[in-house]
């Protein structure tokens, strides 16, 4: 079945092995971005871009320029190729949060970062796409703490995460950084292969019941006031 978000994301995306395949979290964030009424001519950051799916979506929604940042060389290569194929104003940059801060400020930031809790160290390139430390906040904590520095006054950020990654913690950290934060979208989806393998760990951590077979994805919006509060 085609959803409105499917029409926002390019139907054809080049993807090489180990680069994240856009999924439900990508689609939920794309839909939230479309709903958010991005200002015309916005300067946008897609942090943790993977194939560049959300960067391309932002460009299609009218962004003047989009910076697509990812730690993975392969992901940056894919994002660059996809931007060229679709002739959209997206520039790929290899790096993490520090690279994004170098490129700041932005009118709009979107991020679908790694957020899955995992009990052991991440295992190379494959798991780096989603694994985010014991509480799933390896990337989320610094992003929330420094999110305000990425934004221009009046700008906003949209982040997607799982219910297992601490929604309240994300809201608290963003607010502590001077942003106005709220949940703007939710979607419950069945566990995919990664969470099926991770279910007993989540259960041991008290994050879900032993019979749990689905997770709620959450999109959080954080706005930077036009004038300092």
Ligand X SMILES: C[S@@+](CC[C@H](N)C(=O)[O-])C[C@H]1O[C@@H](n2cnc3c(N)ncnc32)[C@H](O)[C@@H]1O
In DSSP notation, 23-69 reads: -HHHHHHHHHHHHT-PPTT-EEEEES-TTTHHHHHHHHTT-SEEEEE
Structure tokens at 163: 């219910």
Pick from 160, 9, 18: which is nearest to 78 by CA?
Answer: 18
In the complex with ligand X, the residue whose CB is nearer, 113 or 136, is: 113
Closest-by-Cβ residue to ligand X is: 50
Least distance from ligand X to the Cβ atom of residue 131, Å? 9
Least distance from ligand X to the Cβ atom of residue 229, Å? 29
In the complex with ligand X, the residue whose CB is nearer, 130 or 164, is: 130
In the complex with ligand X, the residue whose CB is nearer, 175 or 194, is: 194
Q: Are 89 and 42 in contact (CB under 8 A)?
A: no
C-alpha to C-alpha distance for 204 and 62, rounded to whole angstroms: 45
Site residues (vs ligand X, CB under 6 A): 20, 22, 26, 48-51, 53-54, 70-72, 75, 96, 112-114, 128-130, 139
Least distance from ligand X to the Cβ atom of residue 171, Å? 20
Least distance from ligand X to the Cβ atom of residue 72, Å? 4
Least distance from ligand X to the Cβ atom of residue 18, Å? 9
In the complex with ligand X, the residue whose CB is nearer, 10 or 113, is: 113
C-alpha to C-alpha distance for 167 and 161, rounded to whole angstroms: 8
Q: Are 184 and 32 in contact (CB under 8 A)?
A: yes
In the complex with ligand X, the residue whose CB is nearer, 84 or 126, is: 126
């Amino acid at each position: 079945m085609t959803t409105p978000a499917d029409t926002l994301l390019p139907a054809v995306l080049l993807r090489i092995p180990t680069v994240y395949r856009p999924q439900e979290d990508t689609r939920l964030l794309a839909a939230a971005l479309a709903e958010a009424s991005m200002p015309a001519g916005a300067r946008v950051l897609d942090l943790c871009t993977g194939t560049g799916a959300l960067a391309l979506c932002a460009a299609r929604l009218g962004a003047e320029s989009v910076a697509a940042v990812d730690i993975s060389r392969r992901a940056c290569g894919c994002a660059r190729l996809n931007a060229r194929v679709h002739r959209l104003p997206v520039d790929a940059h290899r790096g993490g949060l520090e690279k994004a801060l170098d490129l700041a400020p932005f009118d709009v930031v979107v991020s679908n970062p790694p957020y899955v809790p995992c009990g052991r160290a991440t295992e190379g390139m494959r798991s780096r796409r989603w694994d985010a430390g014991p509480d799933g906040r390896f990337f989320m904590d610094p992003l929330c703490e420094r999110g305000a520095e990425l934004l221009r006054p009046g700008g906003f950020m949209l982040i997607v995460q799982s219910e297992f990654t601490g929604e309240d913690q994300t809201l608290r950290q963003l607010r502590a950084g001077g942003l106005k934060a709220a949940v703007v979208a939710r979607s419950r989806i069945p566990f995919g292969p990664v969470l099926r393998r991770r279910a007993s760990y989540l259960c041991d951590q008290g994050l879900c019941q032993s019979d749990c077979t689905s997770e709620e994805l959450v999109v959080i919006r954080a706005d930077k006031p036009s004038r300092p509060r």
